[in-house]
A and B are shown apart, each in its own frame.
Chain A
C-alpha cells in the first residue's frame, strides 16, 4: 500500500475518533461521579441537529458549535433534575432522553425543511478548516496524521491527559471519585454530591453536544436522521469494558475509528466484490473488533461502586 494511502487512512481514523473521544471524556466524568447516562446518544444527536441548523442559518460553524454546547448542557440539566434531584432511575431516564432526541430531531428537521423531494438534502459547507501546527505538522507521517487537524481534534486529544490530571491530582477530581464510590460517605465528609453531579453532567452535555455537531457540520456537512448511529452507546460500552480508564477508552475509540475508516476504504476500493463477503460484515467490523479488544484488556478492575444508584439524603 503506498504511503499516501496509509497516511490518509490514519488521518481519517484520527478525524473519526475526535467526536468519540470528546463524548467519552464527558461520560467518564459523569460515570466516575456515579451516574450512568445512557442519554449520551441523545445528547450527541441533539448536538448534531442544533449545530447543523444554526450553522445552516448563520453560516458560522462556530456559532453552530456554541449552540450545540448550549443544547447539550440544557438536555443534561433536565437529565440531572430527573436523576439527581428527583432520584429517578438513571437507565430509564437516559433511554427516554435518547428516544426523545431521536423523535424530536426527526420531527423538527421536517418542520423546518419540509418533506423535500430533491435528491440532495440541505447541507452546509465545512468552514472548520484544519489548523496545521507549525513545525510539528511537517514531521513526516506523524505530522499530517496528528498535527494537521482541526482545533477540535487537538482539544479532544488534549482532553484525555487533562481528564487524567483532574481525576488524580485535583480536589474536584477526588470529590468526584468519592461521590461515585459512596455518595453517602462523601456527603458526610462535606462533599456537595448534588452540585458535583450537576457540574459533571453540564460538562458532559457540552462535550457531547460538540461531539454531535462535529458529525453534522464537520464530517458529513448535513443532518441525517439518527446520524449518530449508536456512537453514544458504543462510547459507553467502551468506557465500561475499558473499566473507566481514560487511556483504555482512548485506545478503544482509536481502534474503532481505524477499523471504521478501513472498512469504508475497503468498500470504496471495490476489493470486496467477492460475492462471499457481504458488505454488512465490513460494517460490523469496527464494533466487533472494539468489543473484543476491550473485553480482553479490561478485566478484573472494579468500576465506581455506586454507579447508577440514585442518592437521596436522609434528613
Chain B
C-alpha cells in the first residue's frame, strides 16, 4: 500500500447560514489505496466535511489539495472531474428513470444524442467486472435499498472516480448486504482506489478501515489505526471525556409506583419499508423519567410515533394506564392524557400561522371550559393563554401574533406550557432541548423534572447523552431498532452507554 496522499484538506471551516458551525478548522488526509473511516456522533461534522470535498457545499475557510494540486471545488461536477464521487446517505437517484439513465445523467462528456444501448452494455460489463449485479433497464423505484446503493456505486465507477466517499452506507442495508458492500470496498481499494467511509458505528470502523479519523463537535480529536485501539478507547474518543453530569434535584421515587406505559414486543415499519423497531419492550412508571439514548435513526422516531398514535403498529402491544391503546387515534390518546413534545416543533408542535392564543389550546379547544355547544369562548381562551405565557415565560410581543414570529426557544416554551397544563399522565418528549439556548434548555429540563415529581410518567427520547444522564431515572439504549440495554440510571456509565449506542456489544454477540 502506498502512502501517497490523494486528498489533503487543511483548516476547513464551515458555518451554515443559520449560524451553526459544523467544521471548526478540520484537517483530513486520504492516502491512495486505503479505506479511511470517519467516525463520530450525530452532528460531529463528518457529513459536512465530505460534502465539501464532493463539491456539494463550499467551505468558508480552508484549502483542499487533490493529488498534490491545490484545487477549488465549486460544484459536484468539479469534484467529479477530479475523480471524487460521493454516495450520499439519502439516495441521489431519480425514481422515475431507469438505472442506465440515472448512471449517465449529468456526465459532462455525454453526447447530445444519447446512445442508451451502448451505455447499457458498458454498465453490464462494469457491473460484472466489479460484482455489483444490477439490471440497467430496471426503473429505480422497482429496486431494493441495496440495489439502489449498487447503482450509486456503479455510477461513480462509470465516471472513473478514484476517490469514493460513502456516507453511512450501511444504515439502509440488511446484514448480508453489509458483508457484500465490505467485499466491494475491499476489492475497490485493491484496484488502487481510495475510500472514505463515514460512520457512527464503531465496529464498522474497526473492521473495515485502514485508518480512523475521529471527529467530535466539528473538530478532529484523533487519528488512529484500528489495530492500535480497542473498543473502550475508541468510545472515549467518540463521546469525549464526560464529567458526571450534575443531576437536577428531584423527589425520591415512590415505592409503589403505578405503571403508566407498557410496550410489549413492539414492531414498527419504517418509511422505506422494513422494520425500524424490531421488537421493543419496556415500562414507564408514574414519577419516573425513562430516557432513551441512541444515535439518530436507530428506531427512536418510529417508536415515538407508534406510541403517540402517528404510525401504525406492525405487531406487539402498547398499554397506557392499563388499557390497550394499540391502533387508537391521536385524539383518543390526548383525551386519555398523553402529552407529546415533538422534535419538529414548527411542523408538529404548533400551527405556525395561527396566533399564540389559538396555539395555546390547540389540543383541547373543543372541550369545556374552552368551548360550549361548539362555540369557542374567546375570553376564557385568552385568559388561559396569558397564564401560560406568564408561567412559562414565553417572550412574545402579544398573544395575537402568529407563532411563526417567535424564536425557537419561545415556541418550545409555549408547547411545553400547553402540554404540561393538560394534566397529562404521560409526557413523550422527543429531543426537547435540541437547538435551544442554555436558558431555555434549563427551563425545559426543570419543567420535566417538576412534572415527574408531580407524578407523571415521562418518556424522554434524546440523542444528547448528557441530557439523558442528567434527567433519567431509568435509561434504555436503542441500537438498530432494538432496546439493547435497560438499566436504572447510575448503574450505567457514560462510557457503557456510548458503547451500546455505537453498537459495541453487538460485535461480541
Contact = CB atoms under 8 A, between A and B. Distances in A.
A178 B97 contact: yes
A170 B56 contact: no
Interface residues of A, number: 23
B77 A171 contact: no
DSSP class of B's interface residues: helix, strand, loop or mixed?
A: loop
Given A174-B105, A175-B105, A190-B106, A302 B96 contact: yes
Given A170-B114, A171-B114, A187 B76 contact: yes
* Chain B interface size range: 20 to 34
A185 B96 contact: no
Interface in A145-198: 169-175, 177-178, 181-182, 184-191
B113 A185 contact: no
A177 B96 contact: yes
Contacts of B106: 175, 178, 186, 188-191
Given A185-B92, A185-B94, A190 B114 contact: no
A133 interface: no
Contacts of A305: 95-96
Nearest to A187: B76
A111 interface: no
A315 B58 contact: yes
B348 to A, nearest CB: 21
A174 B94 CA distance: 11
Contacts of A188: 56, 76, 88, 92, 106
B406 interface: no
Contact of A170 (B76, B93, B108, B113): B113
Interface string B102-125: 001111101111100000000000
A302 B58 CA distance: 35
Contacts of A177: 94, 96-97
A178 B110 CA distance: 15
B105 A178 contact: yes
Contact of B76 (A178, A189, A302, A315): A189
A5 interface: no
Nearest to B75: A190
Interface string A290-307: 000000000000100100
17 contacts: A170-B114, A171-B111, A174-B104, A177-B97, A178-B94, A181-B94, A182-B94, A185-B94, A186-B106, A187-B76, A188-B56, A188-B88, A189-B92, A190-B80, A190-B107, A191-B105, A302-B96
Given A170-B112, A188-B76, 19 more contacts: A171-B113, A171-B114, A174-B101, A174-B105, A177-B94, A177-B97, A178-B94, A182-B94, A186-B105, A187-B76, A188-B56, A189-B76, A189-B105, A190-B76, A190-B77, A190-B106, A190-B108, A191-B105, A314-B57
Interface of A: 169-175, 177-178, 181-182, 184-191, 302, 305, 314-315
Interface of B: 56-58, 75-77, 80, 88, 92-97, 101, 104-108, 110-114
